[in-house]
């Protein structure tokens, strides 16, 4: 095996035994990035000098015995909507193409405290608005399994980098499935924590009541180690939970005997691709054979989740993106006639097509005469959806199903049909609406040899249960071992 193929735990062991050095590992990863970037386009910026400097620093701290963390010296990437001090944070947009934050996001600080080595900032859909990473201002990221297909989005760069060995792990953000869907399309593990478990301070906001930062990793154990590092209360985030955080690695138990697992009939209906449905039903059988009690349940409000989600998300996006007027920071239109022309042209030239579409729709549903008809109803629907999931959890410990109705589709196939692309999120958006934790893990391949993701949904702040179920499934199957042949 080459160094980029190892997991966090394996590399941590090699480093502690002095079988490899951190600068050696970091150099290997940077060389890997240089080799594959022309084919995949995972990174927006690569910080080679800073990475090597950090690697030497962490190596010195380990040698002196002042640092003890499983993440110490492990090279990683960060989605480019998470602020990094002195390193551009562009949100894959023209609007913020020249923005360099003067501070680190809370999660970045936590990872640095753990001795992480940052390789660079990862590509994404512009302002995290998309499901394919096709709306990036800079480049198109390609799926390592088939470079004619999308890697998913909006954290497509993060998932593709992990699977291709351009990062050992990565951080993404999930507003309606943006960690889980690319993890599913690329065949890795993506964890969306409970809303409030991980601080959003330093995350450039898309929809503030839905956004959540989480890890994308090769295996469940790695995701759990990263969650341990980034979870916890942050006084800079008023939505940050004050709950005491457990050691999530204690949930890495290969046993689901007696666990009740619910499969909503709406999750395996005719709208789901046949290969995907078969993979999910096979996963149910795996759990049943391991001693779990699998029950069929119903969540009858599924037809409302996509409309409710997009009304709420776009309304919040309209409000959050109002700050980009060219006056305080970001792109500025040249030679304006007056202040009105300046603001209008800055926004018109600085935002891409999908972002402008979402701002317009969000402004519409918040406008006088339409607020009650759309936004207020969507908030009521959100309460009903949350209640239905709570009722479902009275019958089971976790809910499972597909991440997406399909596997990775071809580049350009859905970009001109936004409604079709929005419907790809039907199984992921209810998790964000209700603020629940969820994870995508590999569970099979379709007839084209493309990965299929299994989604595990838990109760609020019950990450240990979905970690335990995911770990058990992983230990009793081999899907997580598969890697694309790309050199």
Burial of 22 (0-12, 13-18, 19+ CB in 10 A): buried
Pick the catalytic residue from 12, 69, 79, 404: 79
How far is the C-alpha of 104 from the C-alpha of 107, rounded, in Å?
8
| Whether the bond into 154 is cis, omega within 30 of 0 | yes
Q: Longest Cα pair distance anywhere in the chain, in angstroms? A: 71
Catalytic one of 12, 93, 135, 154: 154
Residues 364, 370: Cα–Cα separation, whole Å: 7
Pick the catalytic residue from 131, 178, 199, 318: 178
Phi and psi (nearest 5°) for 262?
-100, 135
Closest CA to 129 of 311, 364, 313: 313
Tokens of 368: 């006088």
Dist. CA 356–CA 30, nearest whole Å: 35
- Strand intervals (E) in 227-351: 260-264, 293-297
240 among known catalytic residues: no
* CA–CA distances in Å: residue 197 to residues 79, 84, 85, 179, 427: 19, 20, 23, 16, 21
Burial label for 356, CB within 10 Å (0-12, 13-18, 19+), is middle
Sign, CA dihedral 173-381-274-442, equals positive
In the block, tokens 């999530």 appear at: 248
178 a catalytic residue: yes
Whole-number Å distance between alpha carbons of 47 and 113: 18
CB-neighbour burial class of residue 270 (10 A; exposed 0-12, middle 13-18, buried 19+): exposed
What is the Cα–Cα distance from 207 to 22, expressed in whole angstroms?
37
- The DSSP string of 213-253 is EEEEESSHHHHHHHHHHHBS--TT-TT---SPPP-GGGG--
Contact 23, 57 (CB under 8 A): no
Active site residues per annotation: 79, 154, 178
């Amino acid at each position: 095996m080459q160094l980029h193929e190892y997991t966090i735990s394996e590399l941590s062991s090699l480093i502690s035994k002095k079988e490899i050095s951190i600068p050696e590992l970091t150099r290997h990863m940077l060389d890997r990035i240089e080799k594959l970037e022309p084919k995949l386009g995972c990174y927006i910026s690569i910080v080679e000098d800073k990475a090597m400097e950090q690697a030497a620093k962490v190596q010195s701290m380990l040698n002196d015995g002042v640092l003890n963390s499983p993440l110490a010296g492990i090279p990683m990437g960060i989605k480019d909507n998470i602020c990094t001090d002195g390193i551009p944070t562009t949100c894959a947009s023209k609007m913020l193409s020249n923005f360099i934050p003067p501070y680190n996001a809370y999660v970045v600080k936590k990872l640095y405290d753990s001795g992480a080595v940052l390789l660079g900032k990862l590509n994404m859909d512009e302002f995290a608005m998309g499901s394919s990473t096709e709306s990036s201002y800079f480049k198109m990221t390609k799926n390592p399994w088939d470079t004619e297909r999308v890697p998913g989005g909006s954290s497509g760069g993060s998932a593709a980098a992990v699977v291709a060995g351009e990062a050992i792990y990565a951080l993404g953000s999930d507003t309606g499935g943006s960690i889980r869907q690319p993890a599913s399309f690329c065949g890795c593990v993506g964890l969306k924590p409970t809303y409030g478990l991980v601080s959003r301070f330093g995350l450039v906001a898309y929809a503030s009541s839905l956004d959540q930062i989480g890890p994308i990793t090769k295996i469940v154990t790695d995701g759990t180690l990263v969650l341990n590092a980034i979870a916890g209360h942050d006084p800079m985030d008023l939505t940050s939970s004050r709950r005491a955080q457990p050691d999530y690695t204690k949930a890495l138990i290969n046993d689901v005997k007696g666990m009740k697992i619910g499969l909503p009939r709406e999750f395996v209906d005719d709208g789901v691709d046949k290969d995907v449905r078969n993979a999910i039903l096979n996963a149910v059988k795996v759990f049943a054979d391991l001693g779990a009690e699998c029950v069929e349940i119903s969540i009858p409000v599924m037809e409302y989740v996509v409309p409710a989600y997009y009304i709420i998300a776009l309304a919040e996006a309209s409000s959050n993106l109002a700050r980009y007027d060219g006056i305080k920071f970001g792109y500025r239109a040249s030679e304006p006639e007056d202040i009105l022309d300046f603001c209008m042209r800055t926004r018109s030239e600085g935002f891409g097509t999908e972002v402008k579409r979402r701002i317009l729709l969000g402004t519409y549903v918040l406008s006088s005469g339409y607020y009650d008809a759309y936004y207020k109803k969507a908030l009521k629907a959100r309460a009903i959806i949350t209640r239905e999931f709570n009722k479902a959890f009275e019958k089971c410990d976790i809910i499972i199903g597909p991440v997406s109705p399909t596997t990775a589709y071809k580049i350009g196939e859905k970009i001109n049909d936004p409604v079709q692309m929005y419907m790809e999120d039907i199984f992921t958006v209810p998790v964000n609406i209700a603020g629940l934790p969820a994870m995508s893990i590999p569970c099979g391949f379709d007839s084209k040899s493309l990965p299929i993701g299994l989604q595990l949904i838990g109760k609020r702040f019950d990450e240990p249960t979905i970690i335990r179920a995911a770990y058990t499934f992983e230990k009793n199957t081999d899907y997580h071992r598969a890697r694309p042949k790309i050199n």
